[in-house]
A and B are shown apart, each in its own frame.
Chain A
């Protein structure tokens, strides 16, 4: 924090120092565009003079005091900036030309730094950070449907845990880790918490060629983020304030007490059992005459608020002179949760909530003419708050039936159905104290760029150093009240018979902490030169070393105390002829601690080539509407050594064991022994990914239309797996690790954009799609003569179950069908397919059905329209090829008797099979109903994984819609503001899906998780 203030002061002082110089003269002028119309609001600054600048008025006029022989820089958004030497002119009129970035000029940030898009031979997706919109504080939620090549899904909407999981090109291994490497400014850093306004560029490196430089760390793909840096010129101040109202996309809806009780009776009667409630009891329940014994509680109303708030503010300042430039930013976000709180509690808060304060300072100093020194300091302080027992809330909320317990007994005692996750949800959310998570992270990096042109032109050296520290502290202050349950009936005097479920616990404290520090050293030598204007040669050599040291909670564990270290040497060679033919060779020579000394290093090469057809003369001459036409291919191997927490599997671990007892069963002659807790796996080696990528890029009609398509295939071999199927006769006492798995992953990703200016209306349409399909080739499992019972040969994590053929029509149908062996069944129960044709339906008829939980297809389509000051955006995002089972006490009615709420979908007329004796209508015995005949206390025939309960997880959602208005220049100029924009943005307004019960993206089987948020945001950005 001190550093932040100090640098602010320094900047102010330096600004002052710079401004006290020679005598200044006043210069006036007019800034116009090519059609000679004045440009109000254009920036006029003096080069190398911090803070010295002016803005043109509504007639495009400006006035500025400058010493002679300086240079003016005139800039305006959408126009190419111009530098004009002042000399001794008093009047300077400037004409600006609209900027026209051609396809050839587009720059992409790659592993080795910014590079022209045309010369890239690897598969890289870049995203304009402006497209990454999200209302909360977590940028990962903007990935889905926005970035070609990324599969993402969000599994919770709870503040602080609402980040998305994501995978680059899907899941291609079942080894320890399939997580991508994320680099911020070149260093491995988490980006969940990064401030979106700080991001300058966002790229995703997908193939082996693009990631080879990172060696083993990049095996699952890389995300590269660079943060903004100071720019020469006037000091720019960007401010942003936002307020967001958050509600839930979809909360499961449950029946009320009347319907619940009637259905409970039906469930009993239809199975020839006595009903749960008598008509009198139903009437008492309906009339709410005895809320203690016959409560009727809508638990969601009792403990969930309609909505919550997110507040966000960000401020950044950047500017600088040629020798020193700075970018300073700070932002604050506060996300509120959905839980109601007890108004009586004043000392602390129980509602879920997150607040975070981010800061970043990037300083660039030209130490000499050829040396650039960069300092980056960034970090955040984050506080999260949760109810004391928040992990159980959603289970309890979904499970608690409306008639099980009241919110409070009339005698003032606190009700509970049970303990743990069966506690009264209102108690869980408000009466169990709170948990506080505090995290702070500091990231510092120092970079020296030395231009070595004096040795040979085009040679540069860069040294990088980073020190990061991360600390987190969790404080649990838990308590719970004395809780009671009540017997089913009153005694004969009408009194309740209470029994205590749990005694009171006064508030107590538990703490835990974590922390780590990371240091990184890199040395890089780069060479790039074009010979004869044709032959482009680039080369790079890089040494990398990283150490991650756990600093807290080591205990006596030596393994924890050993830092995790990586070391690698990597390089790149590139040759380009006229930007037309490009070839590249990359390699990583990387080391790992997980292998036996002598086998620790692996060499992983990648080759790639690209052909820019559009650079061929016959295209240039004949098809000048083609801006870019490129084909590229890459092949590479990448090793992965990620073992998760099972480090040093090449070592044996010997522990004291029970020993042997000489003599009779009970005798004093017992001698302790030793055994192998881990048998060493000396042969362990790299998990190898062989990746191929074929890409195609095209830009047409002056970038009116652009498209990129990539097809990929990856084969992972030597996937780590613990050998859990070794026969006992092998004679080892542990399950050793080995390189046993093989998996293939194929797919494609593509993106397109159409950019058109129709008079004053600027229209952009964007879209992207990612698809993958994996297949397990070899897996550590038992052989089975029923091939479909094995994992091998099928998709990873594919849903498996019986094939349901609907519901049994009648007893004849049952008699004429194969015998089902899971339990008694009647008409209206689920009928299964006899897959292996043996006349019996049992576990041998369980087959792979459907897809996996994680969607294999993700796509997004968006559109932006800009007209004068008004801009409008919308973005649709969808997922497909996902399926999962629904289950649990709310989906399987009355499976746990009185525990479990009933979804309104189950209760809806026509959705379930009802016997005609109950409904009086034969048509309700619908063999194609969505839910089977009710049962009470579970039904092992119906309630098991089958296509009956498999749900398609595909969805399409209106992810984002935004309307913005930029205030006219006349107003802003008058207020000395450069630019001001007001906007309203809404996220997740609508979703179209098959599930309909809760948000499909949660991929939750039982709806027992915090729903995703639906948000409406109002905000203002101002630029001075």
Chain B
């Protein structure tokens, strides 16, 4: 059988027709020819662009006789080596190194020892811009992690969620459903303060009181007699919590940074409460809007007002703090579209968010909020102008670099250190603590 088939196939006289047809139809494919660096010819730089920029800026250098071997090429900006990504004979692509300063752009081509060096005309001016970096955390190649303490370069996170500082700028961080982590002020190590369990299973927010001796942890669960807010104190090094308030579905709470009054909410009824420290009882403030309203409360450093960030309805309200009565006044719809999950920069209620979460204030009362499902950080001026601060809206990913080139993946928490002008971002799905700082 096989023989017959083979014979049939072999004996087909294709030579006459088929061969001719094949010859007519097949063409040789041309390939890109690579130009080699010619050591006998001079290397020139005609220009480079841009002539200024911050770390990670993509720079193109034009000239001649660059060759095509990336390994033979070295570029220095003000003496700092710039990573070379791609080289063609007349153009190359490099990245601006960190803190390069102002100076000459130098190009070396050739083998070690007899490289040709050319200096470009004109100086490169390094711009100290804000850019996004990574403080801690990494994943394996499948994006998986574990809760690992220790030296910061080796530490790992699972669900970074909410951040806060103490007076020494140590970072306390909640991991959703996991527990609380701690990063020291020198940012050298990470340790776990407590793991979830025993009724504190879904910690939602953290807040210190003004004297830094109480750390409020709100906890979300469905039992009226369950834990709403727990407190931790320096006595245990903030590692053991005690129940403070019992209530159900608390999404968030914050202490007034001046008076220390603690406010918290109820999701199922959409209500705002104040914790009366004297009577150790809760006092009903108001209903924010409707039932099943997921929101947290975030006081401005002055303590004069707080923002109510409604996560599941993607808008933010503003509520004034009445110093006389020590209560919060009826909230006003501030920015975002109530129940409209979208992305749009704009003013006030015209702007759109998609599940905004934690925010942080700078000294001018600008509010920077992690717009989780738009995967970026939004900036809200005190007047209600909403713009995009960092990240690429609706493009999730992990990329460091200039503010609007960098990417986040479900950023949830953010905190700002005014002294170093650095933001720390809890980047939940990237499982990392990201930084936004001037570099």
Taking beta carbons and an 8 Å cutoff, which residues of A are in contact with B?
Answer: 1, 241, 243, 245, 247, 274, 278, 280-281, 283-284, 287-291, 306-307, 309, 311, 313, 332, 334, 357, 484, 487-495, 497-500, 503, 937, 982, 984, 1016-1020
When each residue 119-145 of chain B gets 1 if its CB lies under 8 Å from chain A and 0 otherwise, what string results? 000000000000001000001011100
Contacts A247-B25, A492-B97, A492-B400 hold; do A281 and B58 have CB atoms under 8 A apart?
Answer: yes
In the complex, what's the smallest C-beta–C-beta distance from B7 to chain A, in angstroms?
10
The residue that B17 contacts in the complex, of A1, A497, A1018, with Cβ under 8 A, is A1018
| Residue B195 CB within 8 A of the other chain | no
State A243–B50 Cα separation when bound (angstroms). 59
Task: Please measure, in the bound complex, the distance between the C-alpha atom of A195 and the C-alpha atom of B124, giving whole angstroms.
Answer: 76
Q: Which of B402-416 contact A (CB under 8 A)?
A: 404-407
Whether A489 touches B97, Cβ cut-off 8 Å, given contacts A274-B404, A313-B12, is no
Q: Does B206 contact A (CB under 8 A)?
A: no
B419 within 8 A of A: no
The answer to whether B141 and A500 have CB atoms under 8 Å apart is: yes
Contact B14–A937 (Cβ < 8 Å): no
User: Which residues of A have CB within 8 Å of B88?
Assistant: 287-289
Segment of B103-111, B171-179, B390-398 in the binding face:
B390-398
Query: B399, A488: Cβ atoms under 8 Å?
Result: yes
Question: Is the Cβ of B13 less than 8 Å from the Cβ of A489?
Answer: no
Contact B17 A306 (CB under 8 A): no
Pairwise interchain contact B141-A489, C-beta atoms closer than 8 A: no
Q: Which 6 A-B pairs rank lowest in CB-CB distance, beginning with the nearest?
A: A1018-B17, A494-B83, A289-B86, A243-B18, A489-B399, A289-B93
In the complex the two chains form, is A492's CB within 8 Å of B98's CB?
A: yes
Say yes or no: is B56 at the interface (Cβ < 8 Å to chain A): yes
Give chain B residues whose Cβ lies under 8 Å from the Cβ of A278: 58
Partner of B93, one of A284, A334, A357, A982: A284
Cα distance A288–B33 in the bound complex, in angstroms: 13
Chain A contacts for B55, CB-based, 8 A = 492
Asked whether, in the complex, the Cβ of A332 is within 8 Å of the Cβ of B5, the reply is yes
CB atoms of A290 and B400 under 8 A apart: no
Q: Which residues of B contact A489 (CB under 8 A)?
A: 56, 399-401, 405-407
**Closest B-chain residue to A273, C-beta based?**
B393
Beyond the given pairs A287-B88, A287-B91, 12 more chain A to chain B contacts, judged by CB atoms under 8 angstroms and listed by A's residue number, are A243-B21, A284-B58, A284-B86, A307-B26, A313-B8, A313-B9, A357-B5, A487-B399, A489-B56, A493-B83, A498-B141, A500-B143
Q: How far is the CA of A1017 from the CA of B16 in the complex (A)?
A: 12
Contact A241 B85 (CB under 8 A): no
Which residues of B sit under 8 angstroms from A311, Cβ to Cβ? 9, 12, 14
For B139, what are the chain A residues with a Cβ–Cβ distance below 8 Å? 499
What are 12 A-B residue pairs whose CB atoms fall within 8 Å in the complex? A243-B12, A245-B18, A281-B58, A287-B88, A287-B93, A288-B88, A289-B88, A290-B93, A488-B392, A492-B95, A1017-B17, A1018-B18
A1017–B83 alpha-carbon span in the complex (Å): 56
Whether B17 and A334, one on each chain, are in contact in the complex, defined by CB atoms closer than 8 angstroms, is: no
Taken together as a complex, chains A and B put the C-alpha atoms of A984 and B407 apart, in Å, by 60
> A290 contacts which of B22, B85, B133, B393 (Cβ < 8 Å)?
B85
Q: How many A-B residue pairs have CB under 8 A?
A: 129
With CB as the reference atom, state the residue of chain B lying closest to A357. Answer: B5
Q: Could you tell me the distance between the alpha carbons of A313 and B9 in the complex, rounded to whole angstroms?
A: 8
- Are B92 and A289 touching (Cβ within 8 A)? yes
> B60: CB under 8 A from chain A?
yes
- Separation in Å of the B21 CB from the closest CB of chain A? 5
Tell me the bound Cα distance from A735 to B386 in angstroms.
54
| Docked-complex contact A1018 and B398, CB < 8 angstroms | no
Residues of A within 8 A of B407 (CB): 487-489
A984 surroundings in chain B (CB, below 8 A): 17
Query: Which residues of B lie under 8 Å from residue A280 when comparing CB positions?
Result: 49-50, 58-60
CA distance A421 to B382 in the complex (A): 47
A491 to B401, CA, bound (A): 8
B27 within 8 A of A: yes
> In the complex, which of the residues B8, B50, B56, B393 contacts A492, with contact meaning CB atoms closer than 8 Å?
B56
Among A247, A492, A495, the one with the most B-chain Cβ atoms within 10 Å of its Cβ is A492
Asked if B235 is at the interface (CB within 8 A of a chain A CB), the reply is no
Instruction: Out of A306, A488, A499, A1018, name the residue touching B21 (CB < 8 Å).
Output: A1018
Hey, which chain B residues are within 8 Å of A1019, CB to CB?
17
- Tell me which residues across on chain A come within 8 A of B400, comparing CB atoms: 489, 491-492
Closest residue of chain A to B140 (Cβ to Cβ) is A500
CA separation between A283 and B62, bound complex, in Å?
A: 11
B84 within 8 A of A: yes
Query: Does B1 sit at the interface, judged by CB under 8 A?
Result: yes
A209 to chain B, nearest CB (A): 45
Name the interface residues of B35-69: CB closer than 8 Å to any CB of A.
49-50, 55-56, 58-60
B83: which A residues are within 8 A, CB to CB? 490, 492-495
Chain A residues within 8 Å of B12, by CB: 241, 243, 311, 313
Question: Measured between alpha carbons, how far is A1020 from B15 in the docked complex, in Å?
Answer: 12
B340 to chain A, nearest CB (A): 12
A497 x B14 contact (CB < 8 A): no
Contact yes or no, B394 A937, CB < 8 A: yes
B50 touches A290 (CB 8 A): no
A465 to chain B, nearest CB (A): 28
Q: Residue among A243, A290, A307, A495 with the most chain B CB within 10 A?
A: A243
Interface residues of B in 243-257 (CB under 8 A from A): none
Residues on A with C-beta less than 8 A from B133 are 492
Shortest Cβ distance from B124 into chain A, in angstroms?
15
Residues of chain B within 8 A (CB-CB) of A498 are: 141
Q: Are A290 and B18 in contact (CB under 8 A)?
A: no
Q: A489-B56, A498-B141, A499-B143 are in contact. Are A243 and B17 (CB under 8 A)?
A: yes
**Which residues of chain A have C-beta atoms less than 8 A from B394's C-beta?**
937
Of chain A, the residue at the smallest CB distance from B95 is A494
User: Does A289 lie within 8 Å of B91, measured CB to CB?
Assistant: yes
Q: Which residues of A contact B49 (CB under 8 A)?
A: 280
A499 and B396 CA atoms in complex are apart in Å by 13
Query: Residue of B at shortest CB range from A245?
Result: B21
Complex Cα distance, B13 from A821, in Å, reads 66
CA of A495 to CA of B143 in the docked complex: distance in angstroms? 18
Chain B residues lying within 8 Å of A494, measured Cβ to Cβ, are 83-85, 95
Cβ-defined contact, A334 with B9, below 8 A:
yes
A762 to B91, CA, bound (A): 68
B142→A503 contact, CB < 8 A: yes
1/0 per position for B131-168, CB-CB distance to A under 8 A?
A: 00100000101110000000000000000000000000
- Which residues of A have CB within 8 Å of B59? 280
Closest partner residue, chain A, to B132 (CB atom): A489
- In Å, the complex CA distance between A357 and B56 comes to 63
Closest A residue, CB atoms, query B394 = A937
Q: How far is the CA of A349 from the CA of B391 in the complex (A)?
A: 46
Q: How far, in whole Å, are A357 and B5 apart by their CA atoms in the complex?
A: 8
Q: What is the 8 Å Cβ interface bit string for chain B, positions 18-35, against chain A (1 contact, 0 not)?
A: 101110011100000000
Q: B407 — nearest CB in chain A belongs to which residue? A: A488
The residue in chain B whose Cβ has the minimal distance to the Cβ of A289 is B86
Bound form: Cα–Cα A1016–B23 in Å? 13
| CB proximity of B312 to chain A, nearest CB, Å | 23
Do B27 and A290 touch (CB < 8 A)?
no
Whole-angstrom distance between the alpha carbons of A490 and B86 in the complex?
13
Nearest Cβ distance between residue A665 and chain B, in whole angstroms?
A: 16
- Determine whether the beta carbon of A487 is less than 8 Å from that of B397: yes
- Whole-angstrom distance between the Cβ of A192 and the nearest chain B Cβ: 21
Point out the residues of chain A lying under 8 angstroms from B392, CB to CB. 488
Known: A334-B9, A494-B95. A487 touches B398 (CB 8 A): yes
Q: How far is the CA of A488 from the CA of B404 in the complex (A)?
A: 12
CB contacts (< 8 Å) of A491 on chain B: these are 400
**Complex: chain B residue closest to A1020, CB-CB:** B13
Complex Cα distance A491/B392, Å?
16
Neighbouring B residues of A307 by C-beta, 8 Å? 25-26
Which residues of the other chain, B, contact A281 by a CB distance below 8 angstroms? 58
Measured in the bound complex, the distance between the Cα atoms of B14 and A306 in whole Å is 19
Q: Tell which of B17, B50, B400, B405 has the most Cβ of chain A within 10 Å.
A: B17
B134 — nearest CB in chain A belongs to which residue?
A491
Give complex CA distance A503, B56 in Å: 31
Nearest B residue to A301 via CB reads: B29
A284 to chain B: which residues have CB within 8 Å?
58, 60, 86, 93
